[in-house]
Amino acid sequence: MSGIAIVGMSGRFPGAKSVKELWDLVREGRESIRQFSWDEIDARDPAVLSRDPSYVRARGVLDGVADFDAPFFGVTPREAELMDPQHRVFLELCWEVLEDAGWDPARYPGSIGIFAGQSLPTYFLANLASEAGVLDRITGEYQVGSYPSVLGNDKDYLATRASYKLDLSGPSMTIQSACSTSLVAVAQAVSSLLAWQCDMAIAGGVSITFPERRGYAFQEGGMVAPDGHCRPFDKDASGTVFSSGAGVVLLKRLEDALTDRDNVVAVIQGAALNNDGQRKVGFMAPSPHRQAEVIATAHAIAGFDPSTIGLVETHGTGTPLGDPIEFEGLSRAFRAGTDKTGFCALGTLKANTGHMEVAAGVSGLIKTALCVREGVIPPAHNYTASNPKIDLPSSPFYLPTELRPWPLGDHPRRAGVSAFGVGGTNAHVVLEEAPRREDSAEAPVRQDSASEGAQLLVVSARSESALQAACRNLSQVVGEVSLGDAAFTLGERRAFSHRRFVVAKDPSNAAEQLRKPFAATAAIEAPQVVFLMPGQGAQHAAMGAQLYARYEVFREEADRCLALLADAGTDLRGLLFRPAPHDPSLSQQLMQTAVAQPALFVLEVALARLWQSFGVKPSAFVGHSVGEFAAAALSGVMPLGEAARLVAARGALVQALPRGSMLSVRLPALELGPLLGPTLSIASENGPSLSVAAGPTEDIEALERALSARKVVSRRLRTSHAFHSAMMDAAVGPFGEKVRGIQLQPSSVPIVSTLFGRVAEPSELADAGYWTRHLREAVRFYPAVKAASALPGAVFLEVGPGRALSTLARQAGASSAHSSLPEPSEEGADEVASLLEAAGRLFCAGVPISVSQLAPSSARRVSLPTYPFERKRHFIEPAAPSQRAPSEAAVQPDGVGSASDDPIESLVQAQLELMRKQLEALGTVS
């Protein structure tokens, strides 16, 4: 599929702190232009003293532009103070748009570009340079000094600063074309993507000007409205109202977006740019001819029949002269392809928010993309009847006066967006709705949350308070999306040091957990994971069956091991991974050593491979008894097939021996040893005060009685044989012969030997004698765990059924030990939920786990609340009047600089007069 996908959006708008709030404002037909009282107007404005009746106290403003989360971006407080809020807000938007799209730039495999522009740096002019001498110093040092002020305010560094702070390697450039800037930036980003200069691109603009709380002096026939309201295409249209605003979109080639499971809001199919040249009456005047050309060019690039376009977001400034000229250009472009009337709605965001200047084009694009996605056409605010110089009834267009549905037809919903800049740079973009997922071979169909099962949601932030806020924000929207989609998206975002997770099966439960108070976990630096591989006794019927059903990696590795065992004469394929946990025959068969040991081997190898597929790489292995053979296969000591055959042979040899018993005793091995007779052995050192004795059943029973008399706690283990005791001697020789038939290799990952209670040397593991001794001698699990705990940041993960080894590890002093699977005795045990719980704990411990890989394969990225910046005020107030440099007006002779002699105003009036003549030449626009 062709086209450029919009996969993320972010913005700040008058009366709307987010894209979602902007959409609510537009749908409801509200206006966010602020009407100030005289007390609110900035005291620097002379109109405050004169109470000039022609002064219109209206403007669209953004809240909190003085505030910034400087530490998040590695910016010092002083640097933040000197930085134009336009740069600061743009930085935040760039981070947010990547998070909104579900991408961490540090993990994105391609290059990301930035194309954006900003307004005149009035923070520098009105605040930083207001103190006497500052402007002279900065201009005197220009190019060799005052770098913090220059770099933090100059337009040149808007895009490149963001690329630096976010480590983006694609093209990074500032675009400037007055009011069309941000839509030109979008068009340039589209071109860069199509030329494969980058793989994703941030495009947009920001306009925040100072003083913030100001209005303007109305002049008859000027470009601004006399009452502070913008009425595009209306009979009462009398001018525009300027506002602050900012917006960015994240763009990507559509085929890549579908492959990457992105949230495609809409698809740009054509983008065109041109300039009026001299074919107009003056530099500031618009040209309907060139506007028509740029619109028709965009249609041609997209291959759109104009009659299929249902909405155009116009430049729509609401001036009585500019609206008819724009309408003429639109009509010409559409009439080149259709004679139909009244099928295409006209809209303009300026009626709601005012004219956001540099940010106007991208803001209109954001609004239009949402219209296309949601299938609604918002009302044209402030519209009652058309401008008399516009022949609306015979045109292709209409002005909607209420929210109306935009039903699907025999083609995708399509729309256009225009932005025209003073100076004549025109931009037009045409877009259509995203392909429906059921029609896309690249993207599987979504499932509802109930069918997806348990999901792991991870949240992180740079501080505990920000983490609390992030959880609250997520709890408010988690019910609006698929839980699997949320899990996948959250797993793809940047992981910060303060972390939390929840495992839930439905959105309401997820929201409830997220709202609960919690103690945040701070991730440790560079944790090292130790895989604990259980031995016999942990097995149970249906172990791993739920993982086998859900995870392809587990299923493939398990099938591979089962096939190897079957080739060696031990066929467990009809026994393992069956979803019948209460089948007595299964339990009985798994109690047989000849079955239990290879069954555990299969499960542990498959489970370890599953963890590794999630990015969890072991730094060491600790294997309890037969569990060390799984460690040997995973670390390369033995080929997988040879290890499987050895385990099957080991189990069969032990199965053929006389039966015995084992007793777990609450005593250290050194204290238990003297209490044993000649027939009993220490089989295992499991803890500082926990050992296991093994031997003939009658001798174990006698020991049990003696211990009871001493009030020493003991418990008989459910085993068929006296493992790691003298009763194994008969199997040692035959097993040694089988081991000597295998080519053993040094381990690629350290194995902490439970034979030695320390890290085994590579040469020791490559010796057949090690593995024969391993069958007979005691399992020194406690010393092995103590040795493994010496690894910096050791995190233990039990890779097998049950929780016995992780419990023993904690008793041995391990600060972080987790189990993968539940105990078989747990009623309604959910293996997937248990696995996700373990993954969440690893995430919180700082283990670099690919959490998104645990989500369903059908999951896709969705828009979720972005990072809750913890902003603080970083703002330099303008100097007091006594400290300011004298203004230009103050040093001019009397009479010079009056309104009537202002050269800029004279130019504007001349241009307006030329526009009137051009409009008269056009006649009644049709």
Residues 329/289, Cβ–Cβ less than 8 Å: yes
Cα 174 from Cα 116, distance rounded (Å)? 5
Name the H helices within 478-592.
483-492, 507-515, 545-550, 552-567, 584-590
Respond yes or no: is residue 299 known to be catalytic: no
DSSP secondary structure, 363-412, as one string: HHHHHHHHHHHHTEE---TT-SSB-TTB--TTSSEE---S-EE----SS-
Respond yes or no: is residue 229 known to be catalytic: no
- Compute the half-sphere exposure of residue 199: CA atoms within 13 Å on the CB side of its CA: 13
Structure tokens of 769? Answer: 């004698």
Bridge partners of residue 905, in order along the sequence:
none
- Compute the half-sphere exposure of residue 444: CA atoms within 13 Å on the CB side of its CA: 10
Cα 228 from Cα 57, distance rounded (Å)? 7
Reported in sequence order, the residue ranges of 666-745 that DSSP labels E, i.e. its strands, are 681-687, 690-695, 714-716
Q: Which residue among the candidates 229, 299, 355, 540 is catalytic per the annotation?
A: 355
Burial zone of 647 (CB within 10 Å; 0-12 exposed, 13-18 middle, 19+ buried) = buried
Bridge partners of residue 461, in order along the sequence:
498
Pairing of strands 817-819, 311-313: unpaired
Reported in sequence order, the residue ranges of 750-838 that DSSP labels E, i.e. its strands, are 752-753, 758-759, 794-798, 817-819
Q: Which residue among the candidates 119, 130, 179, 681 is catalytic per the annotation?
A: 179
Find out whether the peptide bond into 211 is cis, omega within 30 degrees of 0.
yes
Q: What angle do CA 264, 302, 300 make, to 5 degrees?
A: 165
Residues 573/612, Cβ–Cβ less than 8 Å: no
- Compute the half-sphere exposure of residue 129: CA atoms within 13 Å on the CB side of its CA: 19
Residues 808/534, Cβ–Cβ less than 8 Å: no
**Where on the phi/psi map is residue 832: left (φ > 0), alpha (ψ -120 to 50), or beta?**
alpha
- Other beta carbons within 10 angstroms of residue 95's beta carbon come to 23
Cα 42 from Cα 460, distance rounded (Å)? 40
Q: Which residue among the candidates 625, 681, 725, 863 is catalytic per the annotation?
A: 625
Cα 840 from Cα 86, distance rounded (Å)? 38
- Other beta carbons within 10 angstroms of residue 893's beta carbon come to 6
Cα 384 from Cα 768, distance rounded (Å)? 92
Respond yes or no: is residue 179 known to be catalytic: yes
Q: Which residue among the candidates 87, 229, 299, 315 is catalytic per the annotation?
A: 315
- Other beta carbons within 10 angstroms of residue 566's beta carbon come to 13
Burial zone of 142 (CB within 10 Å; 0-12 exposed, 13-18 middle, 19+ buried) = exposed
Q: Locate tokens 């995190």: which residue?
A: 795
SS3 of the chain: helix, strand, coil, percent, to 5: 40, 20, 40
Q: Locate tokens 């959105």: which residue?
A: 507
The packing angle between helices 85-100 and 158-166, to 10°, is 50
- Compute the half-sphere exposure of residue 109: CA atoms within 13 Å on the CB side of its CA: 2
**Among all residues, which ones are annotated catalytic?**
179, 315, 355, 625
